[in-house]
Amino acid sequence: MAHFAKIDENNIVTEVIVVRQEFIDTGVLGDPSKWIQTSYNTRAGKHYEPDSEIEDDKTPLRKNYAGVGYIYDSTRDAFYASQPFPSWTLDEETCLWEPPIAHPDTSKGILYDWDEDNQQWIKIEE
């Protein structure tokens, strides 16, 4: 069994399922070219042990695990979310969106939100 993402005519993921490869290959679920395999354990271009933050030596698949609404980019052979803000850029190695200013430290439980108009992080007040 493997995870597969179904993409529409614009390469947007419309669903992600767990299914045997032969269901994709035989067209039981429709056009096989619309189903792209994705790895639940792949994040930011790295493969991790199941349900952990421990990187393993397995090959990462398509940069990130696909989610509904994600984009499949066949040139990069990668899944990534849509651009959250116009000022953010796509990191080619991880296929994650990077803000123009690094995210502040949240280790002390302080949360921040991006203010696109002022190009800065704003502390979220409780």
Q: Return the SS3 of 84.
A: coil
Nearest to 45 by CA among 8, 95, 88, 7: 95
Q: Check residues 17 and 53 and name the one with the higher pLDDT.
A: 17
> Which helix or strand (DSSP H or E) is residue 22 part of?
helix 21-25
What are the extents of the domains in the chain? 1-82, 85-126
- What is the DSSP code (8-state) at residue 106? -
Does the pLDDT value for residue 126 go beyond 80? no
The predicted structure's pLDDT at residue 28:
93
The predicted structure's pLDDT at residue 51:
86
Model confidence at 125, in pLDDT bands (50, 70, 90)?
confident
The predicted structure's pLDDT at residue 63:
97
Q: Check residues 126 and 120 and name the one with the higher pLDDT.
A: 120
Are 96 and 44 within 8 A, CB to CB? Answer: yes
Are 53 and 62 within 8 A, CB to CB? Answer: no
Q: What is the pLDDT of residues 22-68, one digit of tens each?
A: 999 999 999 999 999 999 999 999 999 988 899 998 999 999 999 99
The predicted structure's pLDDT at residue 70:
98
Q: What is the pLDDT of residues 99-120, one digit of tens each?
A: 999 999 998 899 999 999 999 9
